[in-house]
Amino acid sequence: MVTMSDVAKAAGVSRATVSYALRGDPRIAAATAEKIRQAAQKLHYNANISARSLRSGRSGIIGVAIYELDRPYPSEMSAAMSREIARRGYQPIVQQTSGSKDDEIMILQKVTSQLCDGMIFSPGQVSDEELRALSHGKPMVLLDDISPDPVFDSVNTACEDGSAAAVRHLIDIGCKHVVVVGPSYDMLLDDKMASSVVGRRMTGCLRAFEEAGVDVDASNFLPLEHWDPIPAREAAYRLLDSDDYRDADGVFCMTDTIAISFMRGLADRGVRVPDDIALVGFDGVTESEYAVPSLTTVRTDLDDLARRTLDLLIDRINANVGGVGIDAAGDAGDNAGDGLAFPDAPQRLTAAWELVKRESTRR
Amino acid sequence: MVTMSDVAKAAGVSRATVSYALRGDPRIAAATAEKIRQAAQKLHYNANISARSLRSGRSGIIGVAIYELDRPYPSEMSAAMSREIARRGYQPIVQQTSGSKDDEIMILQKVTSQLCDGMIFSPGQVSDEELRALSHGKPMVLLDDISPDPVFDSVNTACEDGSAAAVRHLIDIGCKHVVVVGPSYDMLLDDKMASSVVGRRMTGCLRAFEEAGVDVDASNFLPLEHWDPIPAREAAYRLLDSDDYRDADGVFCMTDTIAISFMRGLADRGVRVPDDIALVGFDGVTESEYAVPSLTTVRTDLDDLARRTLDLLIDRINANVGGVGIDAAGDAGDNAGDGLAFPDAPQRLTAAWELVKRESTRR
DNA sequence: TTGTAGGCGTTATCAC
DNA sequence: GTGATAACGCCTACAA
């Protein structure tokens, strides 16, 4: 391994000078800096991240921790985040939380919060308060976190407006009995109605029903225990087999993956989409465009999502630099939260989206 | 941040004792060790990875660097790798190489080879020799790397046998004119025929054709500049529009993503699968099961792939420890078996696979 | 069985 | 402008 000392020796200067020069400190003479850069280049020098991180607390890495890397939406989102992180001059790393709480904690404790200058996290089981403790004062932006009393910045998908648009579209094309696949009707009574993704998407649906003058009951909702392909496919059988849903002619599935699996379930029974049942999904994954029939969906603009997320995160990272530098009196990060020179209130943004109309609702 | 000193103070011992105890060194008395563990637990102590890595060169992290995280196959593969890495007690991190050579180099230089005890890499543009330099002596296992003179261990998909099975299956169900989508017929003259994924898959196809007594010419191959959805969809139009392929009745696409896009292209023109044209893919992504019609495919067993990959990698990591430390009596059982302090020759394994027959070839 | 001490490569605080 | 020098938190020979 070639270290800073090697570069210093090659350039005939001290280690300190190398450090300054490579980091672009203006105090170093241009000629010296150039000489040092060339020496570094020739030796294929690369700063040791562990050493830098140990000494300065900064690594140049931004971490993305996400649930289920093997599903289309999370993986396309991670890819978009990775690209945007790289574009901002940071190194992206992605981690899979697999949905278990221990896993999420482990990842944050062991890797992300230690190694990363900032984190992008899609919280599953861990509460905001726990996250605060796990973040070690490092900046973090949450995805689709709607907790009533937010601790971190977050960027959300357009749950309400998007879902409302989906249901409205089904009604517009003439559906008389629209069924929403995902939530249970009982959800209405749940106190998480306003603070969870499913609750907010359901709220959007209800708004659309109401605006269209449609009375809603349990037969407008087909609950899904897990938002996975197999239960979603079987949900289609349930819909077809139950008297409650027999005249259903329009279905809104809360994710594209559910929609595509549901569509497969309909195909298993020979039900035609959109002729017999029209179908709308949510997310706008690539797969939705290539399905047969292609899927109408509420597409989240992932590039916009990534851009907004990194705007927030990098602002916080830069703010932290100023803060940490003066931070001689221990880790004030926590207790000074409501004080002066400290971060403003958590922001909450929504990513751009659009309803993409395709064959599954073409009538 | 709570350091080892804090734990030492809380437990009333020295830092060294804490280090030994937490790493399970048998020299520490059981009672002392337990006391230390409890103190660490209570203080929520977590070893600082940067410090550990700087001092010992080991971080407990294994990195996966892969091309295009937003495609189904790579993302499902990364997820399988992540799970297996975690199962072995390491922390997984995933990075997207995006296919550019600079990117691959950057990732290896700046992050992976520095931070990780071992790497799993799916090489795109970088040659084996360059990789050797970039690896900094850290163990690495390559995926689907078929270079004639391998430097690293690798685990491959069953390119030849899998492709042969795909083509054979199309012939078995009665296809008279099978077209392989992906490679160009000119590939045969290419010197990378034996050392690239596309070349080896093509070799498998040729074997199946030959065994079936089918004469092959350019009309059995439909080249694809990029293995992406849009060109694949358009390839279907090309197939239908060209006289060369007019009587094609069976198609083998070199990946599932190509197959599904191609199938979409056929649907655009009202061509029925499998009635008019039968279709086989390669990979076995989840999506292939939910497509309509469901896609017959050469499924790679990703769990098996991950298992074999980590068997190789962790062996090398442990061997490296033996080499680096002066650990005389160490677990020589593994590494000192053959030869001296030098690693054995690169191994090359193939992941389990199966031909999954589905609707797209049901006749 | 446990403590002491030195150093991993970098950055930051001083002098010069 | 540049160069010594001291940490950052941990690991590990060696001493006790």
Could you report the per-residue pLDDT of A8-48, keeping only the tens digit for each? 999 999 999 999 999 988 889 999 999 999 999 999 999 99
Residues A75 and A101 in one domain: yes
> Gap from A25 CA to C14 C1', in Å?
17
Residues A166 and A290 in one domain: yes
Q: Would residue B194 count as lying in a domain?
A: yes
Determine the protein residue whose CA lies at the shortest distance from the C1' of D2: A17
Per-residue pLDDT tens for B177-231?
A: 999 999 999 988 888 888 899 999 999 999 999 999 999 999 999 999 999 999 9
Residues B291 and B224 in one domain: yes
Determine the protein residue whose CA lies at the shortest distance from the C1' of D8: A55
Q: How far is CA A255 from the centre of its chain?
A: 14
Residues B290 and B175 in one domain: yes
| Nucleotide with C1' nearest the A19 CA | C11
Q: Do B109 and A292 touch (CB under 8 A)?
A: no
Q: Would residue B68 count as lying in a domain?
A: yes
Domain span at residue B165 reads 159-299+354-361
Q: Does the pLDDT of residue A94 top 90, yes or no? A: yes
- The pTM (predicted TM-score) of the whole model is 0.92
Bridge partners (DSSP) of residue A283 are: A299
Q: Mean of the per-residue pLDDT values for chain A? A: 91
In total, how many domains does chain A have? 3
Q: Would residue A70 count as lying in a domain?
A: yes
Task: Give the pLDDT band (50/70/90) at residue A223.
Answer: very high
- What is the model's pLDDT at position A321? 66
Q: Do B110 and A264 touch (CB under 8 A)?
A: no
Q: Would residue A336 count as lying in a domain?
A: no
Residues A137 and A238 in one domain: no
Residues A121 and A177 in one domain: no
Which pairing describes strands B140-143 and B118-121: parallel, antiparallel, or unpaired? parallel
Per-residue pLDDT tens for B280-309?
A: 999 999 999 999 999 999 999 999 999 999
Residues A178 and A282 in one domain: yes
B-chain residues near A83 (CB < 8 A): 96, 98
Q: Would residue A81 count as lying in a domain?
A: yes
Bridge partners (DSSP) of residue A357 are: none
Cα dist from A65 to A39, A152, A270, A353, B110, whole Å? 37, 15, 40, 23, 20
Q: Which long-range contacts (CB under 8 A, 24 or more apart) does B131-137 make?
A: B134/B105, B134/B108, B134/B109, B135/B108, B136/A1, B137/B320
Residues B166 and B214 in one domain: yes
Question: What token pair was written down for B199?
Answer: 């070349």
Query: Cβ contacts of residue B56 below 8 Å, gap of 6+?
Result: none
Bond preceding residue B123 cis, omega within 30 of 0: no
Residues A167 and A201 in one domain: yes
Q: Do B70 and A69 touch (CB under 8 A)?
A: no
A-chain residues near B111 (CB < 8 A): 49, 61, 91, 93
Distance CA B118, CA A292 (A): 42
- What is the model's pLDDT at position B343? 56
Best mutation target among A53, A64, A81, A96 (most B Cβ atoms within 10 Å) is: A96
> CATH code at B38?
1.10.260.40
A-chain residues near B233 (CB < 8 A): 290
Of B114, B263, B264, the CB nearest to A48: B114
Per-residue pLDDT tens for B138-176?
A: 999 999 998 888 899 999 999 999 999 999 999 999 999
Q: Which long-range contacts (CB under 8 A, 24 or more apart) does B317-324 make?
A: B317/B117, B317/B118, B317/B139, B319/B139, B319/B343, B320/B137, B320/B138, B320/B139, B321/B58, B324/B57
Per-residue pLDDT tens for B111-140?
A: 898 999 999 999 888 888 888 888 888 999
Q: Would residue B332 count as lying in a domain?
A: no
Q: Would residue A100 count as lying in a domain?
A: yes
> CATH code at A147?
3.40.50.2300
Q: Would residue A55 count as lying in a domain?
A: no
Residues B32 and B108 in one domain: no
**Residue B334, Cβ neighbours under 10 Å: how many?**
11
Question: What token pair was written down for A90?
Answer: 């940071």
Distance CA A337, CA A342 (A): 6
Strands laid side by side in the A353-356 sheet: A221-223, A178-182, A250-253, A278-283, A296-300, A353-356
Task: Give the pLDDT band (50/70/90) at residue B244.
Answer: very high
Residues B195 and B281 in one domain: yes
Distance CA A260, CA A230 (A): 11
Query: Cβ contacts of residue A129 below 8 Å, gap of 6+?
Result: A151
Q: Where would I find the beta strands (DSSP E) of chain B?
A: 61-66, 91-96, 118-121, 140-143, 153-156, 178-182, 221-223, 250-253, 278-283, 296-300, 348-350, 353-356
Provide, rounded to the nearest whole percent, the portion of chain B with pLDDT above 70: 94
Q: B238: buried, middle or exposed (CB in 10 Å: 19+, 13-18, 0-12)? A: middle
- What is the model's pLDDT at position A343? 54
Question: What token pair was written down for B179?
Answer: 């077209």
Question: What token pair was written down for A92?
Answer: 């992206």
Rounded to 5 degrees, what angle do the CA atoms A114, A116, A121 make?
Answer: 100
Residues B15 and B66 in one domain: no
